[in-house]
Amino acid sequence: MDLSSSDGELNDSAIFDEHDSEDVFRITVTTDNHLGFMEKDAERGMDSFISFEEALEIAKEEQVDFILLGGDLFHENKPSRDCLTKCQKLFREHCFGDKPIEFEILSDEVTNFGHTGFPRANFNDPNLNVSIPVFSIHGNHDDPTGQQNLCAMDTLAAAGLVNYFGKSNTSCDQGVNIVPVLLQKGCTKIAIYGLGAIKDERLYNMFEKGLVQFIRPAEDSDDWFNIFVIHQNRSAHGKKNYIPETFLPDFLDLVIWGHEHECRIRPEYNELQRFFVSQPGSSVITSLSESELEPKHIGLLKIYKKNFKLESVPLRSVRQFMMTNVILAESELNPADKNIELKIEQYLAKKVLSLIDKCQKNRYCYEKQPIKPLIRIKCDYTDYEPINEIRFAQKMVDKVANPRNILQFYRKPTEIKAEANLDVEASKYLRMNGGGEQLEYVKVQDLVKKYFKKADERNKMVAITEKGLSDAIQEYIEKDEKDAIGELINYQINKIQTYLKKEIKWQNEFQLEEEIRNFQKIRLTNTEEEEKELKEVFEKSRKNTQQNTRANESDEEAPFSHRAYDSDELDEFKEKSSSGRGRGSKGGSTRSRGRGSRTTRAGRGAKSSVQEEKSFFSSSSRSVIKKEQISLDSDEDIITLDHKAKPIKSMSATPSIRRPRIDYDDDDEDEYMSSKKTKITDSKLEDDDTSNTFKI
């Protein structure tokens, strides 16, 4: 594409400020908020909510037109009631009010939002008073499941809190039609295409077969600024476990890429496809890995006609994280020393304290930023013995937020026997990827594939296929479908039994095993049939889960002694004794009697046993550290999209085309905060170029 201005009308960044109130869209962009991450952890349980609240505060202060979310708003597929309640409080507090909506929706609202049960945008609902609309797709953590194909985002949409779009039928036979949400503000028109998370391999195959279509506006298709919000693997995790950028149509102007947690929010230009890609990353640290070391940002996107400007705004409430590598062989520690374990412990403790000191020096002057940082030490202990990690963690409880997994020990790879190859390799893979809370980022497909590839032929599973086992484990882990693995095993074993009874005559166990292996090879060649079978198996599993859920819910209508409790109620119930009677009894039962008993029905003047919960959401305004205005006089400071330099397809539906793939102690806290407030300046913001404006 020719990087020149399409017209002489725009030649400096002031245009976005001059037309702010009339023609310029102002949009807050954020992805992968993962609300509810480690919510039961006393230290880190509020991290995801605090950072997301800051993002909403920024949107409110910047008076944006709307907020655009790129998936994974929730960390769990079935978020807890506490998590859902906190999320709804945040939206109610920051996105509802009397601020008028200055843009209009031009597309068919029934087509965009009909799946939510309310075929209209929430800001057009006469029963709601929305000040900042929220548009969101779903991610792989909160994707639709079950017979009704619902997710947590459907709950928020039904409550009128978000505008949920990008939900599609993921059947490989029918394909996907991506219909945009069309918005207009003054003379600026934008088309927002969205596609919620689909299994990468399935979506890859759909793109290859041309089953993904982008529906373009029939009139004035060249006048629209086209945004695509996607939530898939961007980096390759296998042959088909990602979506290449070359699969996306070239009429797009800006792609907002979710799912990847590394912050690469500055727009990156794709020379071949001639569009920009922005990867905001997550707003909370969910894994102790290199990709989480980059500072977290959200985007402030401004659009005027075919030009856009993306400013990256740092999130100052994110918990600090630092990591370093230590090789004990390069230290002066002697492995033969009788006190070597103690000396290693002291050596590593100094490393941790050094990182903590760096965190303290780089803290933002922001009251909501957590005090304790996250620290990770990757330690190569080749030729040494590992220390007692539990004892080390106990010494760091008051200093870091993750005392249990500060240390990650590993050895240099050595030659191993073939018989032990699988277990050692799998163990090393888990260790190198962090273990513990990072386990979710170890790809299930990779582990299963490694097993089938490296396991000894005599001991390898033959009744269950690689894809079947991989998908079943993923259903169990990500969607909490407890019957998925069992249903898969029963189905595939029954199929083999049917095959052996009808088709094959065998004489002994050796022939039987050989026939099973042959049947397995036949099944591997028919991938489409296996895809359908797996879909039926998992649907049956979801129905079983729903039936069990309904049975548990019906138990709530049963008498007190027979009621089924969930985990939250059970903990509360254990703290109370059984029904008590008599004066002074501390019974917790509703049937308690007698003067002075602590019943749930407190008498007049009695203190309530449940204190009023204090809101963690501060109503005070957020004090934003403003950066000095940078004068941008260069013609390359504004992104101008010149579609005259390329041919535009004159069609209402643009199918996807396969293109060549590119390999691409509280007192201390108060004293510390008071001493640091005067020392912390705007230097943190000035380190990075937070205003990215381009011109094409």
User: Of the candidates 39, 93, 33, which has an alpha carbon nearest to the alpha carbon of residue 68?
Assistant: 33
**Alpha-carbon Rg for the chain in angstroms:** 29
Inter-CA distances, 116 with 78, 119, 177, 193, Å: 18, 7, 17, 17
- Cβ 70 vs Cβ 229: under 8 Å: yes
Asked if 87 and 53 count as a contact pair (C-beta separation under 8 A), the reply is no
Q: What are phi and psi of 419, to 5 degrees?
A: -65, -30
Instruction: Output the CA–CA distances (angstroms, integers) from residue 676 to 75, 107, 363, 367, 492, in the order listed.
Output: 34, 51, 9, 12, 63
C-alpha 627/C-alpha 312 separation (Å) is 12
- Residue 197 gets which letter from DSSP? -
141 is catalytic: yes
Classify residue 516 as exposed, middle or buried by CB count within 10 Å of its CB (0-12, 13-18, 19+): middle
Of 140, 84, 133, which Cα lies nearest the Cα of 105?
133
The token pair that represents 509 in the structure block = 């166990």
Q: Which residues of 395-423 are buried (b: 16+ CB within 10 A; e: fewer)?
A: ebeebbbbbebbbbbeeeeeeeeeeeebe
Q: How far apart are CA 352 and CA 403, in angstroms?
A: 11
Report residue 403 as tokens: 């005392």
Strands (E), 359-463: 374-380, 407-410
Q: Rounded to 5 degrees, what are φ and ψ at 150?
A: -115, 160
What is the helix (H) or strand (E) element at residue 452, kind and residue range?
helix 444-454
Crossing angle for the helix pair 527-554 and 466-479, to the nearest 10 degrees: 30
- Distance separating alpha carbons of residues 458 and 563, to the nearest angstrom: 49
Q: Which of 34, 115, 138, 141 is an active site residue?
A: 141
Coil/strand/helix, residue 388? coil
Determine the distance from the C-alpha atom of residue 514 to the mean position of all C-alpha atoms in its chain, rounded to a whole number: 44
Asked whether the beta carbons of 572 and 565 are under 8 A apart, the reply is: no
Q: How far apart are CA 62 and CA 104, in angstroms?
A: 20
Helix (H) or strand (E) run with residue 684 in it: helix 683-686
Distance CA 684, CA 323 (A): 19
Spatial separation of the C-alpha atoms in residues 296 and 24, rounded to whole Å: 26
Give the single-character DSSP code of 150.
Answer: B
SS3 per-residue string spanning 627-673: CCCCCCCCHHHCEECCHHHCCCCCCCEEECCCCCCCCCCHHHHHHHH
Instruction: Give the pairing of strands 307-314 and 275-279.
Output: unpaired
Report, as residue numbers or ranges, the catalytic residues.
Answer: 141
